[in-house]
Structure 1
Amino acid sequence: MTTVWLDGTHVDGRATIPVSDHALTLGDGVFETLVVVRDRPFAVTRHVARLRASATAVGLPAPDEDAVRGALDAVLRADPAVGRLRVTWTAGDGPAGPVRGDGPGRLLVVGTPAPVPGPVRVWRAPWVRNERSPLAGVKSTSYQENVVALAAARRHGADEALLADTTGRLSEAATSNALVSDGAGLLTPTLATGCLPGVTRALLLAWSDALPVPVREGDVAFDDLDGRALALTSSLRGVAPVVALDGTTLAADDRVGQVAAAFAARRDDDLDP
């Protein structure tokens, strides 16, 4: 079942958005995806803050925090079985062409069942994440490059695509941040690679001292991943082990499993860290 909230109104499964909305015609908008844990949106404060920061970064007015929280609550009240919440803040209506209008933005929240996370197979894509792009670090509705990368990964027998930055460093996956084994710990690429400042990524770094395996930021060469333990992190995945890279099976690594279990336990204990 799909539950929809649009600009203050609960709509049962359907919403009408004008063809003049620039998120529809130009991909001009920002979004967040939250997982529901024990009937509550996890890390809602961090997600709302990132939604507002993304809007500001691309020159849109930031959505009202109370309005976003109220919309999330409304969807969960309408359907307590929702497992995933997608919040979209659009540029609103505008003229034909790329020039923005001056109308208000449009707030849309959609609740759906959550996918069941599991191990992931990844493929190194030939395209790059441009760390100098105006959309670097922004969770933008202009998502086509990720759609293309994921489709190519599926054609190569994988579930996700890994992307380098323009200098040859690992940046992230198309829809997730990445972890790579390094000595006794795990590394996640720095934000300087253009990766998204993921909420799960940020929490792993903040909780590093309390985790059984430390997680820290660092640079990793894109061509230096063979034979290393890998994992992907996101709100929906949590910490998911990578079981194959470019079609080659990777050995299970206790460090990834320990961090995944510790993160899941702490997430259940603190719903809004």
Structure 2
Amino acid sequence: MIPVAWLDGALVDPEAPAISPLDHGFTVGDGVFETLEVRRGVAFALTRHLRRLEYSADRMAIGPLDSDLVRTGVEEALDEAGETATRVRITVSSGPGPMSSARGDGPHRIAVVVSDGAAPERCRAVRSPWRRNERSAIAGVKSTSYAENAVMVAYAASKGADEAIMANTHGHLCEGTGTNIFIERDGEIVTPPLASGCLAGITRGLALEWGARAGVPVRVTAPGELEMSVLDEVLGGKAAAAVTSSTRRVQHVQMLDGVELAPGRLLERLRGVFEAAADADLDPAPPRSK
């Protein structure tokens, strides 16, 4: 049975009306979300995703969030969905509110949807003409206020691509609309720092941890170390690129601005390390807080 929907503690008909037209998640995008891959019937890295969901809800002042309830919703929806499930989407909105930016009194709404959507098979990217604002009030938050990403994905599609890579306001390499980006050059793999305004991607974090553990030369750069112009090096064959996300995992950028690209040797090694580690541990523990 796909899709399967769970809302505020119970399974519901995914086709039935369930969200109020006054809900702030609908009217002003006042919510947060997580998308998870399903591996062998399990929501991969669920604990890490729940921790980031809590962080996003706290940053948005939507919390406190009952993570145990969300976990129960994910497990019940997956049990109902069966073996064909490939993806879990968790959405938390601030609840009903007035027709303005001001919030109502809540309570927030929690929705879990399990589907069998196919993962992207390849990455064909373009450089975005728009920039990520690293000074935004919701920089680094996985918010449902996703309109600018939707515009950039539509732009990418108009160019025959499926992802758009953007700089931040300083012109430094930042991220894709739904991905983090890794660059292989000069015998190492590097990725922009969170200070660039990029999302703290779950796959990004695991690729860094597992790659370093396996001896892959991979690191986070210093702020400003990666200019957007590094993509010219990728186009010229002096560097290689890959994107990471929950659905793409570690994926070679096959095309950039219409130019076919060869995969990086180290990036392919990192992809293999990630796949093996993910198969061995479906819910890797979050790093300890310092």
Which TM bucket (shorter chain)?
A: over 0.9
1:150 counterpart residue number: 153
Instruction: Tell me if the contact between 1:3 and 1:75 (Cα under 8 Å) persists in the aligned partners.
Output: yes
For residue 143 of structure 2, give the secondary structure of its aligned residue in structure 1.
coil
Contact 2:211–2:274 (Cα < 8 Å) also in 1: no
Q: Within the alignment, does 1:167 sit opposite 2:173 as a pair?
A: no
Q: Which residue number corresponds to residue 13 of structure 1?
A: 14
Note the C-alpha offset of 1:116.
Answer: 3.1
Aligned-pair CA distance for 1:210? 2.4
Name the stretch that deviates more: 245-254 or 170-179: 245-254
Structure 2 residue 73 is the aligned partner of structure 1 residue 71: yes
Asked if structure 1 preserves the Cα contact closer than 8 Å seen for 2:37 and 2:88, the reply is yes
* Compared CA separation, residues 135 and 6, structure 1 to 2 (3 A): same
Alignment pair present for 1:213 and 2:216: yes
Q: Distance in 1 between matches of 2:59 and 2:106?
A: 18
Q: Deviations over 1:219-239 (max 9, x none)?
A: 311012123200000011100
For the 8 Å contact 1:23–1:91, the answer to whether it is kept is yes
Q: Hey, what does 1:232 align to over in structure 2?
A: 243
Give the alignment's Cα RMSD to 1 decimal. Answer: 1.2
Deviates more, 1:197-206 or 1:139-148: 197-206
Gaps of 5+ in 1: none
Does residue 222 (structure 1) correspond to residue 228 (structure 2)? The answer is yes
Answering whether residue 258 of structure 2 is matched by residue 256 of structure 1, we say: no
Moved more, 240-249 or 8-17: 8-17
Local SS of the residue matching 2:129: strand
Q: Hey, what does 1:29 align to over in structure 2?
A: 31
1:105 & 1:82 partners in 2: Cα distance? 26
Give TM-score, length-normalised by structure 2.
0.91
| CA distance, structure 2, for counterparts of residue 192 and residue 9 of structure 1 | 39
Q: Percent identity, aligned pairs only?
A: 45
8 Å CA contact 2:210, 2:273 repeated in 1: no
Does the 8 Å CA contact 1:88/1:107 hold for their aligned counterparts?
yes
Q: Counterparts of 1:246 and 1:150 in 2: how far apart (Å)?
A: 14
**In the alignment, what sits opposite 2:49?**
47
Q: Tell me which amino acid in the other structure corresponds to 1:267.
A: A
Q: In the alignment, what sits opposite 1:120?
A: 123
Contact between 1:191 and 1:197, CA under 8 Å: does it hold in 2?
A: yes
Contact 2:131–2:167, Cα closer than 8 Å, also in 1: yes
- Structure 2 unaligned residues grouped into runs of 5+: 285-290
Question: 8 Å contact 1:114–1:236 — kept in the other structure?
Answer: no
Structure 1 residue 212: Cα displacement: 5.1
Offset, 1:254: 1.6
Residue in 1 aligned with 2:288? none
Query: Aligned with 1:128: secondary structure?
Result: coil
| Kept in 1: contact 2:172–2:228 (CA 8 A) | yes
| Deviations 1:31-73 (CA, angstroms, capped at 9, x unpaired) | 0001111111111110000001001101111320110100000
Q: Secondary structure at the residue paired with 1:62?
A: coil
State how many pairs are aligned: 273
Q: Could you say what secondary structure the match of 1:127 adopts?
A: coil
User: Does the 8 Å CA contact 1:180/1:229 hold for their aligned counterparts?
Assistant: yes
Kindly indicate whether the alpha-carbon contact (under 8 Å) linking 1:4 and 1:14 is maintained by their aligned counterparts in 2: no
Match of 1:187 among 170, 190, 211: 190
